[in-house]
Amino acid sequence: MNKKKESKDVGEGLILFAHGSRNPQWRKPFDRLLKDVVKRGGYAAVLAFGEFMRPGLVDAAKILAAAGAKRAVIVPLFLGGGLHVRGDLPRLAAEARAASGIKLRVAKAICEDAGVLQAIADYSIASSTAVTSARRKPS
């Protein structure tokens, strides 16, 4: 990638925030998601994890700041809005703001988006139909 293009005013950034796992294979779908977001979004984006994996949210914000981002949105990749979303995330976001100097906004968790829930429902129904069809034997 050409340096001039990289050094343009990045301005906006995106942090995809997931739980994390001790199993390194767990992050593979998140890496694919990040790659797609960067390709289609055209701006700086980074994964961050709440536990077990790196970078954490504070380091992710610092990475974006070093890339020239002045502001970023944190997207919580959680299917439930429990303790990590309602408790840990606000605290970590405040720490990340202070450590990075960038303006951070926290988006609603993906579990709160009707389109995401619709996509999960569609997938679930399609999966159920595929299982049912596979069980049917031709007469």
Catalytic residue numbers read 19
Instruction: Please give the backbone phi and psi of residue 46, each rounded to the nearest 5 degrees, phi first.
Output: -150, 150
DSSP letter at 88? I
CA 24/CA 129 separation, integer angstroms: 32
- Please list the alpha-helical segments (H only) found in 11-113: 28-41, 57-66, 83, 89-100
Close Cβ partners of 70 (under 8 Å, ≥ 6 residues apart): 10, 11, 12, 102, 103
